[in-house]
Amino acid sequence: MLIHFYELRDEVKQFMEIKGTPVKELSDTKWLCDLAFMVDITKYLSELNVKLQGHNQLLSSLLSNVQGQQELNIFTTPFNVESVDVPDNLQHEIIQLQSDDELKARCNNLSLLEFYRRYVSADDFPILRRHALKYASVFGTTYCCEQFLSKLTLAKCRLRSRLTDANLKNLLRVASSTIPLNITRLAKEKQLQPSHWR
C-alpha cells in the first residue's frame, strides 16, 4: 500500500490541490525522503516477515534470514566451516568430521536433522552432537503455538460447553497431527453395536 502511495505521490498531490485541500508534506523534499525510507524499510520487513512464517522451520533457516553466526554455521554447514574459526572445544571433532569423505557425501544426500540423527553419534562426536541438539531444539517461531491456540479456540467454544478435558485433549491431538487420517480404515476396525441399529 505504501509503495503504491509513493509511486502515485504526484497524482495524489495534484488531486488534493484540485479538491482545494493541498497537502503541504507532498511538496516537502525532506518529508518525501523520509517517506521513501519508510517505504523501503516496510517492504524489507514485510518480506522478512513472510520468510519467518511457516511450519517446521529450524532456527538455522530463520536466523539465516536475519544474520549470519559462526556457531549457527557450525550446525548448518559443518563441512564448510574453517576449523580455525570454530571454538576450541569443537575443533577436533570438526576436523574429524571434515576428514571423512563418506560422511560428507551422506550429509549432501540427507536433510540436516536426518544427517545428525544417523551419523553424528554421541560416541563419536559428543560435543558436536550436543551443539547440534542445542540449535535443532530451539523453536524458531511461535507459529506452531499460534496455530495450536487457533485450533483450541475452534475446538472449545460456547457451543461445546460440556466438552471434557479428555475429549478436548483428543480433539487437539487430532487437529494438530500431521498424520493423514484414513477414516474408512478406522471405521472398518470399529466393532458395531447391533443394538443401536435396530
Domain regions of the chain by residue span = 2-51, 59-136
Helix 112-119 and helix 101-109, axial crossing angle in degrees, nearest 10: 140
Q: Write down the pLDDT at residue 195.
A: 60
Q: Write down the pLDDT at residue 44.
A: 75
- Residues 106-113: contacts with CB within 8 Å, 24+ apart? 107/78, 107/79, 112/58, 112/60, 112/75, 112/76, 113/58
User: What is the chain's mean pLDDT, rounded?
Assistant: 82
Q: Write down the pLDDT at residue 78.
A: 93
Mean pLDDT throughout 21-43?
88
Mean pLDDT throughout 43-69?
69
Q: Write down the pLDDT at residue 38.
A: 85
Please state, in angstroms and rounded to a whole number, the distance separating the CA atoms of residues 56 and 17. 52
Is the confidence at residue 138, as pLDDT, over 80?
no
Give the up-direction half-sphere exposure of residue 144: CA atoms within 13 A in the CB hemisphere.
11
More confident residue, 72 or 19: 19
More confident residue, 15 or 193: 15
- The residue assigned the cell 506452531 is 144
Q: Write down the pLDDT at residue 126.
A: 95
Please state, in angstroms and rounded to a whole number, the distance separating the CA atoms of residues 79 and 106. 11
Q: Write down the pLDDT at residue 68.
A: 47
141-172 pLDDT tens trace: 566 677 777 888 877 777 777 888 888 888 88
More confident residue, 23 or 145: 23
Mean pLDDT throughout 111-136?
91
